[in-house]
Chains A and B, each alone.
Chain A
Amino acid sequence: MNFREILKFTTVADRVLFSILILFSLLGLIFVRSLILGGNSVEINVDGNLEYVLPLDEEKTVPVQGPQGTTLVEIRNHRVRVVESPCQNKLCIQQGWVEHGVIACLPNKVLITVGKNGKRGSEPDAVTE
């Protein structure tokens, strides 16, 4: 039983239906991915308070005012990094570009969360002052 014999007993409607299903599911795979990416956002907390919520698909550089000074946060190509920070060890800058996850600058009390919009259950369990 070869491929041509199998094709012979399928009808035109079969093949049309098959093509439509394959086409739409492949389009869906691509479309849904960009939809989810576009819905992402960046949340910036300073000292436990939510200061900024920014879309991840918008290129922007934000100066964030912390207790020690200004932390400069850059958003580009669906990624986030800290450009400048008044802290001493500069760990947040060394962390580089982050696609999803958290950048924390503890000395300046800046917490940047990169992830899904409106996602719950990702808050810290407790914050010590």
Chain B
Amino acid sequence: MQSPNRYQIALLSAYALALHGFESMFPSPVPWLRLGLANIVTLITLLLYGLRAAFTVTLIRVVLASILNGTFLGPAFLLSLGGGILSTLSMGFFASLTPRLFSATGLSLIGALFHNGTQLLLAYALFIQRIEAVLLITPLIVLLGTLTGTINGIVSELIIKNLKKSVEKIQNVDT
């Protein structure tokens, strides 16, 4: 695992931001329910460059996206920030604690679960304050998060495999 330079962090953040903007064009039944495409970039960064880099990329993405959306420091920003931080930390935790247990798909599922769990808790604590409303929507959000998390995980897995393949090719040409 190499440590990334600032240009790589900038590039990864730009990818994450672009995906974040792209997915906000999809209609959604709940404002903070998203496909989580930006999590693909977080996951790839985590597996290639480590938790520190993934955390930096997530923070840059969340802050910049909220400034561009005009939701900076608003309720959606708090949910997005909390979900982003907790999902990155949980994925980093499982990736370093049990490196061979989960593939990128499993890590993506963990990230999605922690993302949704954090957002539901934050939404309950800050805005809704009706436990039955939160309980009513929790299974649906977990179900959708599991489905999108699986797809994101598989996509991340494929991208990482292809990246490694192309790196090997370049190294073969060099020698």
Contacts and interface: CB of A to CB of B under 8 A. Distances in A.
B33 to A, nearest CB: 14
B103 A9 contact: yes
**Interface SS of chain B:** helix
A71 B19 CA distance: 62
B146 A22 contact: yes
Contacts, number: 66
A29 B140 contact: yes
Interface of B: 98, 100-103, 105-106, 109-110, 113, 132, 135-136, 138-140, 142-143, 146, 150, 153-154, 157-158, 161
A10 B138 contact: no
Contact of A13 (B102, B142, B154): B102
Interface of A: 1, 6, 9-11, 13-14, 17-18, 21-22, 24-29, 31-32, 35-36, 39
Nearest to B161: A9
B106 A17 contact: yes
A22 B112 CA distance: 13
Given A9-B157, A31-B139, 20 more contacts: A1-B158, A9-B105, A10-B103, A10-B105, A11-B101, A11-B106, A13-B98, A17-B109, A17-B110, A18-B150, A21-B142, A24-B139, A25-B140, A28-B138, A28-B139, A29-B140, A32-B139, A35-B132, A35-B135, A39-B132
Nearest to A30: B139
B175 to A, nearest CB: 28
Contacts of A24: 139, 142
| Residue in A21, A27, A28, A36 whose Cβ sees the most chain B Cβ within 10 Å | A21
Contact of B146 (A6, A13, A18, A27): A18
Contacts of A36: 132, 136
Nearest to B150: A18
B139 A25 contact: yes
Contacts of B158: 1
